Structure 1
Amino acid sequence: MSSLVGLALAGAVICAWLALHVFAVWHLDASASPVLAVLCLIGLTWLSVGLFIVAHDAMHGAIVPGRPAINKGLGSLALLLFAGFSWRKLIVKHMAHHRHAGTDDDPDFSRGGPMSWYIDFVRTYFGWREFWVLGGSVILYALILGARWAYVGFWAVPSILASMQLFVFGTWLPHRPDHDAFPDRHNARSTRFGRPLSLLTCFHFGGYHHEHHLYPSVPWWQLPSMRGKDER
């Protein structure tokens, strides 16, 4: 049952992003419908966060447990749509994050302020591959659609905003040092948002980040049920 739910939710996020992206880029006249354009931008940003979370669950084999090929396929597709990211590169770095969370060996960790930390975060994951994939996609869109900003505004902008959202709620708030004591060796804390806000900000990876480090194979939609499990 869990596999069916995980597969359905991953498919829903990917299909919703594709549908909204196609509508916004190919059919929406932003100048005639500015409010709808803003709503599309907000929706694509949140769904872009969802794409990354789908890929993240796939890295832990949590979408369809015991089926690595399916997890890899869905994760690779989600990362490609998000920003052309490499599955292999991200899974290696993310596993290093779990082994060395909150230390100098953690690729997601920085001792600088939030802005310099975010810049380091972007540099860690955005390289030449991503540059050429996104650049090539923009050129292809330009050849097909002509000189329109829609393919940039409804892909690059949501991806950038989503990366900021993922960084703030999924990395900086849970792992920043010198704020309050971490509960254990995982050097991770949960932000303790209510479930609706936790879902909206980072698909529960902010509100239940410590639970994720305790139970990394648990998918995002089951994380709230993990809170206080050891005490029950």
Structure 2
Amino acid sequence: MKHQLKNSKGTYIAIIIITLWMVSIVILMKTNLSFTNPLLYIFVLIQMHLYTGLFITAHDAMHGTIAPKNPKLNIALGQICTALYALFPLKNLHSKHHQHHDFVHTKNDPDYHEGNFFVWYFNFIKQYITWWQILAMAIIYNILKIYIPEKNLVLFWVLPSLLSTLQLFYFGTYLPHKGEHQNKYQSKTQDKNHIWAFFSCYFFGYHYEHHDSPGTPWWRLWQVKEQSINTKNG
């Protein structure tokens, strides 16, 4: 029973994140807050973090760690996350992400680009966003605004997702991979700070650890960090 629960933990965590996002988005679509109310900005940040959680959960699906014993459920939960995030096809993300792991910091790495932050970010986004996604999201937006105040759609649906792309890129790609690194993964890792590591990008600041142990789900990366420190300290 204990072993069964351990194998299902990733599934439970994925369902919790999806549920939190759904409950939050429904509540926020009905919220009426003025721009002078600090809660408005707090809710935008919370929703941004939940969007990032959707993508990180989908990332775990790409590594088969949501439901290791049930590949169909693993893929289904991952696809739900990418669809809610911005209608991404999981198969395409899976292919490009594993290309990143196989060819990290080379011209064949879809996540790497030589250039400043803004040029790199633009090329990063261009790798994943398609015109049909933009068109489909625009159609959905225009349908939703018939029933939901446009202010709420922009503040709690559009803006958090865009901010989330910056969060994912900055903490999960740009900071870990910019510059040259003296290791086979061409990546660095942030100093141990589990609270900041979670809130900044679901522990993906521990990026060397992720490349060294890609089969570790996001919610266990802090443990890999601990083990890495203990090993170095001998």
What letter corresponds to residue 190 of structure 1 in structure 2? T
- Change in 2 beyond 3 A, CA 1:55/1:31: same
What letter corresponds to residue 169 of structure 1 in structure 2? F
Identity of aligned residues (%): 31
Match of 2:80 in 1: 77
| CA offset digits 1:158-190 (Å, max 9, x no partner) | 011010011010000111124xx33x2111211
Match of 1:169 in 2: 171
TM-score, length-scaled by structure 2: 0.91
| Aligned 8 A contact 2:7 2:69 in 1 | no
Match of 1:23 in 2: 27
| Aligned 8 A contact 2:189 2:209 in 1 | yes
Q: Distance in 2 between matches of 1:33 and 1:14?
A: 30
Match of 1:36 in 2: 39
1:53-202 alignment to 2 at 5 Å?
53-145=56-148, 148-178=150-180, 181-182=181-182, 184-202=183-201
- Pick one of 49, 54, 60 that aligns with 1:51: 54
| CA offset digits 1:138-163 (Å, max 9, x no partner) | 01102223x62211221110011010
Q: Tell me, yes or no, if structure 1 residue 12 matches structure 2 residue 16.
A: yes
Match of 2:218 in 1: 220
Out of 29-38 and 187-196, give the one that drifted further.
Answer: 29-38
Q: CA RMSD in A?
A: 1.7
What letter corresponds to residue 209 of structure 1 in structure 2? H
Give the superposition deviation at 1:19: 0.7
Q: Which runs of 4+ in 1 moved over 4 A?
A: none
Give the superposition deviation at 1:193: 4.4
What letter corresponds to residue 141 of structure 1 in structure 2? L
- Change in 2 beyond 3 A, CA 1:167/1:148: same
Q: Distance in 2 between matches of 1:19 and 1:3?
A: 26
Aligned length: 226
Q: Distance in 2 between matches of 1:122 and 1:200?
A: 22
What letter corresponds to residue 174 of structure 1 in structure 2? P
Unaligned runs of 5+ in 1: none
Q: Distance in 2 between matches of 1:3 and 1:134?
A: 35
Match of 1:203 in 2: 202
